[in-house]
């Protein structure tokens, strides 16, 4: 029974992580189209205006969040959602899955560069765990695929073979989503 339960949880989380970026984008567009289209008079309607308004609103949100006041407001909202009963647990879980949670208990601890033997280059890796002692320290590193970081491969690699970076996890994920244009 335990094995069946573990299988169900793994498949459920895999499906959730895979569909979140696509499903979230579709939901935002559909919601915005339905909510914003009535605001534009019918004689000025153009097909896809909801999509254009979503792009404009996302740009304005990004512009706001890059200001001091916007960051303060976002941090206040984040703290409020985290403390909310029930919803807070879901919110923290989604933040961890998407790589935006930091500190103790986060899904990804830090970002490293993993050597790629086939090309001679390096790949972005997200450290999920450290095992062993100081002499034989090994890292469990998730190497995500780009532009869909919900899929990738998991490596167990000697700590000395990876190169540490100063990147935050969310910066690395943004680089993967944007194909390096962050």
Q: Residue 98's pLDDT is what?
A: 63
Residue 104 covered by a domain = no
Q: Does 94 lie in the same domain as 7? A: yes
Q: Please provide the DSSP assignment of 63-80 as one string.
A: HHHTSHHHHHHHHHHHHH
Q: Does 168 lie in the same domain as 132? A: yes
Q: Residue 100's pLDDT is what?
A: 61
Mean pLDDT by 10 residues, the chain (182 residues): 72 64 72 73 71 77 80 83 78 67 69 89 89 84 77 87 87 73 62
The number of residues in the chain equals 182
Q: Does 94 lie in the same domain as 10? A: yes
* Cα 75-141-170 angle, rounded to 5 deg: 20
**161 DSSP 8-state letter:** G
Say how far apart CA 82 and CA 156 lie, in whole Å. Answer: 32
Q: Minimal CA–CA distance to 138: which of 124, 150, 128?
A: 128
User: Of 42, 71, 98, at which residue does a domain stop?
Assistant: 98
Number of domains making up the chain? 2
Q: Does 11 lie in the same domain as 85? A: yes
CATH of the domain at 120: 2.30.30
Is residue 128 within 8 A of residue 111, CB to CB? The reply is no
């Amino acid at each position: 029974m335990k094995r069946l339960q573990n299988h169900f949880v793994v498949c459920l989380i895999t499906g959730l992580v895979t569909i979140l970026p696509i499903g979230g984008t579709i939901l935002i567009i559909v919601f915005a189209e339905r909510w914003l289209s009535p605001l534009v008079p019918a004689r000025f309607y153009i097909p896809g205006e909801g999509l254009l308004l979503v792009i404009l609103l996302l740009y304005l949100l990004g512009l706001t969040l890059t200001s001091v006041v916007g960051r303060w407001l976002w941090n206040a909202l984040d703290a409020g959602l985290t403390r909310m009963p029930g919803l807070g647990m879901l919110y923290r879980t989604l933040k961890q899955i998407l790589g935006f949670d930091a500190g103790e208990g986060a899904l990804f601890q830090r970002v490293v560069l993993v050597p790629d033997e086939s090309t001679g280059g390096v790949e972005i890796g997200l450290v999920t765990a450290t095992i062993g002692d100081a002499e034989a320290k090994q890292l469990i590193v998730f190497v995500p695929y780009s532009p869909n970081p919900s899929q990738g491969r998991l490596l167990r690699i000697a700590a000395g073979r990876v190169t540490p970076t100063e990147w935050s996890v969310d910066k690395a994920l943004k680089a993967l989503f944007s194909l390096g244009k962050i």
